[in-house]
Every structure is written in structure tokens, then in C-alpha cells.
Amino acid sequence: MGSFANLVKKMRSGRKNSQAKCFRENQECEGAFDHVDRGICSVPLEKIVGSVGRYQDFDSQFKLKDHVPADRLIRIKKAMREGKPLPPVKLYQIKDEYYVLDGNHRIAAAKEFGRSEIMAKIVEFIPSSNTLENIIYREKKEFMEQTGLAHSLDISEVGQYALLLEQVETHRAYLAGGEAPGATLQKAAEDWYLTIYRPMIDVIEKGGLLNSFPGRTLDDLYAYVSYHHWQKGNKRQYGIGIDGRIPKDMEAFREKMANMDKKEYPEMLRSITAFIMMNVEAKRELKVVDKLFALPEVREVHSIHGSVDILIKVVLTRDLLSSDAEVIGQFTHAKVRQIDGILSTQTLIPATSKIKE
């Protein structure tokens, strides 16, 4: 009997989950009653998740439920096939989700035809409940509205959008004082995005910095690095990788990036070559050689005669968190010195090199 009850419960749950979401329920949950007319724009169909009045007639993929007549859907599909113009649908927006006020069948037809977007007239309802997520969302909307940026930035910490707006205003003042005397905040924001923000994001992404901060976004790291590097001028405790490769002034960074081919930056993509000499315990040399050669960073291993027993060549990858010396030191401590039998090491970092193929 219990198993039958569980089956019925699962079936009901499945039917509920397959239903389009109800706008009113989400509106109450988010406290989203103040609204703003956002005009007409293209909306991804995958973000249309529910309906204002007909959520019970469609499933979560906007397929008609069995109890709903299909006549209207058939007529709309016929009009779409014939290329007849249809008015924009009307949507209500709460954060990143959209609900259909008018045009449920047009949405269903567009999804059935495999389209990815649809033109819509949008009214956005702003969430007022003071959850962390909603506070950040309101800060984001304010930043996007003031700057006019069409590119979405996703930050997970309160107060960071205000710091980005301060950067944009600083950049506007810089442009107004030289190359663009009449620069507006919106024009400065677009230039900031293209010539400062995007290059720095490339530096952060290709430099592997995100791997050291799980759970954070690239935009989070941009906000953190740029604020501490340019606006506050703090000295960090995690190394000099950033200090050595990114100018301390935001506009100097912009100029540096403008003079570089995109494929050339970030500089930390370049590898670090080093040679490590070591002495090992008697009769353990061959085992040590094998263990060293198994390390992916080790390109060459040489057993030699003289005051040094073994010489290895290693090739490491730069990162934003550490200086070259720190990267090499970390590798030596974490991988080389952990091999049994090694008594001492000495590292050589070449200043200039000439290599014959």
C-alpha cells in the first residue's frame, strides 16, 4: 500500500513539475510589485518559463496540455509557415525569467519550430524582498541602466557594481580630458568594456586565476583584482605576478593592451624554464631519475659526474598569483623535494637563452 501511495505522489509531482510556472506565485515570493516598461526586444525562448493567466494550459516546454483545444495553435503555426507578420508577444519579467501575458500560443509555436528567440514587449517587475540574491540583482540593474551596457556582468558580492561604476566614471573623466571631450557616461562605459574590462577578463581567464577561486565568476575576479590594483593600490600577499604584469594605473593598462595583439596577452601564458641541480643519496640515483622523469613538468633529466649528481630541465606555466620565482619554488618544494633520496637542490633561472633546433 505504501509503495502505491509513493507512486501516486511521484506521478502528481511529475505533473506539477511539468507545468509552466505561475507568475503570481513568483511575484508574491519575490515581492516584485514595482514595475518598469523595458520596451520591445528579442528574448531567448528558453528564458520564458511560465504564464500570467494560462500556466495550467501549458507544460514547462510550452506544449499544449491535452485538455486545451489545438485550433488556435494550428492557425498560428500556419501563419508562421506562410511568413505572415505577427505582433510581439507581451511578457512580464522577474529577474532572468519571463512570463507570458499575451502570446502563449505564439511561444508554443515558436518553440515547436525550433526557434531560439522571439520579439517581445517587456514589463519588468523588480523584486523587493531583501535576500542577498535580490540585493545584488537590484544593484546590477542600476549599474546596467546607468551605463547603458548591453553586456551582462554577473557579480556575486554586494557593493561591487558601485565600484565598477566608479571605474566607468573615472574613465569618462579621462576621455573627456583628452581624446573624447564630450564623452557621456554611456559612451565611456562602452569604451571601458571594450578596452579595459574585456582585456582584463582575458588576462584573468587565460592566466588560470579562476582555478584558485572556486565558486567565483570571472566578473567577481575582475571586480576584486581591478579594485585592489587600481582603485585602492593594495599590496597583496599572494605574490607579485599581477604587479609585475599589469600596470598600476587603469589607463596605462588600457594603453598597454591597445598596443598588443590579442594573441600576445596575457604575458603569463608564456612558460617558465628553469634548471634544477641536486645531490642524492648513494645508490638511489637511478630510482630518483625515474621518479623525476615521470613528472610532466620535467622535460630533461641528466645524471652527471662531479659535485652535482642530477640536472633536470623543467618547464612551468606562469600564473597571476605568483612571481616566477614563487612558481618555481612551489614546484621544487611540492614535487621535487618530496622524492625520497634527494639531499639538496639548487635552482638556476636563465636570464637569456639561445636554442638551436
pLDDT for 68: 86
Q: Is 321 exposed, middle or buried (0-12, 13-18, 19+ CB in 10 A)?
A: buried
What letter represents residue 152's amino acid?
S
Cis amide prior to 85 (ω within 30 degrees): no
Strands annotated E in the chain: 21-22, 34-44, 48-51, 89-94, 97-102, 117-126, 271-280, 298-303, 310-317, 342-348
Output the pLDDT for position 210.
Answer: 80
Query: What residues contact 316, with CB distance under 8 A and at least 6 apart?
Result: 271, 272, 274, 297, 327, 328, 331
b/e per residue 264-303 (b: at least 16 CB within 10 A): ebbebeeebbbebbbebeeebeeebbebbeeeebbeebee
Summary mean pLDDT of the chain: 85
d(C-alpha 118, C-alpha 111), whole Å: 10
Q: What is the mean pLDDT of residues 273-296?
A: 93
Range picked from 125-139, 164-178, 194-208 for highest mean pLDDT: 164-178
How many whole angstroms separate alpha carbon 127 and alpha carbon 30?
5
Mean pLDDT of 293-297: 93
Q: Cα dist. 349→160, 203, 225, 325, 329 in Å?
A: 40, 24, 28, 9, 11
Q: Which of 206, 214, 227, 172 is nearest to 319 (CA)?
A: 206
d(CA 81, CA 105): 14
Which carries the bigger pLDDT value, residue 41 or residue 92? 92
316: confidence class by pLDDT, cuts 50, 70, 90: confident
The whole-number pLDDT of residue 279 equals: 94
**pLDDT class of 265 with cuts at 50, 70, 90:** low
Specify which of 27-36, 237-246, 265-274 reaches the highest per-range mean pLDDT: 27-36
Residue 48 and residue 21 in contact, taking contact as beta carbons nearer than 8 Å: no
Contact 323, 241 (CB under 8 A): yes
Alpha-carbon gap, residue 50 to 6, rounded angstroms = 28
Asked if 297 contacts 330 with a C-beta cutoff of 8 angstroms, the reply is no
- What pairs with residue 41 in β-bridges? 120
Percent of the chain predicted with pLDDT > 70: 87
Matching residue, cell 614546484: 331
For residue 260, the model assigns a pLDDT of 73
Please give the average per-residue pLDDT across 258-284, as a whole number.
76
pLDDT at 189: 95
| Eight-class DSSP state of 210 | G
Q: What is the pLDDT of residues 50-89, one digit of tens each?
A: 999 888 889 888 888 888 888 899 999 999 998 888 999 9
pLDDT band at residue 314 using 50, 70 and 90 as cut-offs: very high
pLDDT of 11 reads 45
Residues 33-42 have a mean pLDDT of 89
Classify burial at 318, counting beta carbons within 10 Å of its beta carbon; exposed 0-12, middle 13-18, buried 19 or more. Answer: buried
Confidence bin at 129 (pLDDT 50/70/90): confident
* Res 243: pLDDT: 62
C-alpha cell at 31: 515581492
Q: Are strands 97-102 and 298-303 parallel, antiparallel or unpaired?
A: unpaired
Task: State the pLDDT confidence band at 13, using cuts at 50, 70 and 90.
Answer: very low
**Band of the pLDDT at 230, cuts 50, 70, 90?**
confident
- Quote the pLDDT of residue 209: 76
pTM of this structure? 0.58
Distance CA 222, CA 153 (A): 10
Q: Between 60 and 49, whose confidence is greater?
A: 49
Quote the Cα angle for 60-63-65, to 5°. Answer: 95
